[in-house]
Amino acid sequence: MPSMFKKMATSLVNEVGKKNLKPVSNLSCSHRFRPFCLLRKKYKKNKFTCTEFSLMDILEPHFPVPEVNQENHFEFWKKVYGRLGGAVLLDMKKKINMKMGVSAGAEKSDGSFLELQILTVSYQTWRTLQMERKMVTPEPSFIGELRSQGEDLYVVIEAIELLNNPVLGRNISLEGAGTISIPDIVNVKGQSHGSRGKQKLMTIPPHSILAYRAAKLSISENSWEILYFLDEKQKTFQNRRGMRQELHVQPGQCVENQEESGIAMSCDSEDESTLDEEFLSLRLGFETSAMSMEKIKVQ
């Protein structure tokens, strides 16, 4: 059964109706869905998993944190009330004169009042960030782990933040009653009645994130890019080996695909001179052998 927090966040997303906006399912990790937070997701999976890292953790340090826009303040109020009742009367006059009746009812209510705002990062901020800050070197260890596991990285670009301190409540009450009468056998009449109630309250701290929108992060060499339009075929980590094979090889260069590093290696002048010397020695050896054969034939 979904928690009160998840039900509230899901209901909010349905009302806001923004494309690619997803509800946060767990209050304990809602702070990990703020703008610039990194999320991971396996290929062809719909579920995002939060991480303990931010985009700032993989970029060059000593820069101020970019500005996050706070806009579109709005309120969200929800109240649900329902009641269900029923009764059954059983009259068995053919075999035995017995009457029995059962009735039951259930009541449920919950409600919440939220004050919210939308956190966004402008396109110009992303462009400036991409031009001014490169990937940190050496790369963090968790980046290598995600690459080896074949997972993609996403960055939160928009979030809905809670401003007030609401109390989520849920009340459930059950009632039941029963009667029985058997006048032919014994003069017995019985009646019973019972009820049960359950109440849950949950306080949500301010500045919690209820919903978010993420974009895929593309990483290649020392550069990175935000992909606003989600494409499942586009991978976060580019295939270094494939990139090297697509390079145009200039004269005097060679490309060597190493299984581990995939680093392109160029042949320098020293290697060329070494090859020339070996070829010259081999040629002299053949000429010497040919002269020896000619002497043998003359003799």
For 254-263, what is each residue's pLDDT tens digit? Answer: 333 333 333 3
Place of tokens 């094979």: 245
pLDDT of the residue at 71:
85
Is the pLDDT reported for residue 178 higher than 90? no
Answer whether residue 118 shows pLDDT above 90. yes
Average pLDDT over residues 269-282: 46
Amino acid sitting at position 176: G
Across the range 176-201, mean pLDDT stands at: 71
pLDDT of residue 207: 94
Joined together, the tokens standing for residue 35 give 């703008």
Q: How long is the chain?
A: 299
SS3 97: coil
Structure pTM?
A: 0.67
Asked whether residue 235 carries a pLDDT value surpassing 90, the answer given is no
3-state helix, strand, coil in the chain (%, to 5): 25, 40, 30
In the prediction, which pLDDT does 275 show? 41
Name residues whose C-beta falls within 8 Å of residue 263's C-beta, 6 or more positions apart in sequence: 244, 256
Of 285 and 34, the structure prediction assigns the larger pLDDT to 34
pLDDT band of residue 62 (cuts 50, 70, 90) is confident
In angstroms, the CA 64 to CA 53 distance is: 17
CA torsion through residues 283, 285, 289, 292, sign: positive
The predicted pLDDT at position 173 comes to 82
Report whether pLDDT(152) > 80: yes
Distances (CA, A) of 107 to 3, 17, 100, 198: 19, 30, 24, 10
Under 8 Å CB-to-CB from 161, ≥6 apart: which residues? 34, 70, 116, 117, 118, 119, 207, 208, 209, 210
- How confident is the model at residue 283, as a pLDDT? 55
Overall average pLDDT of the 56-64 stretch: 86
CB-based contacts of 203, cutoff 8 Å, min separation 6: 165, 166, 167, 168
Look at residue 186 in the predicted model and tell me its pLDDT: 57
Q: In angstroms, how far is the first alpha carbon of the chain from the final one?
A: 104
| DSSP secondary structure code for residue 82 in this structure | E
8 A C-beta contact, residue 208 and residue 216: no
Q: Which amino acid would we find at residue 221?
A: E
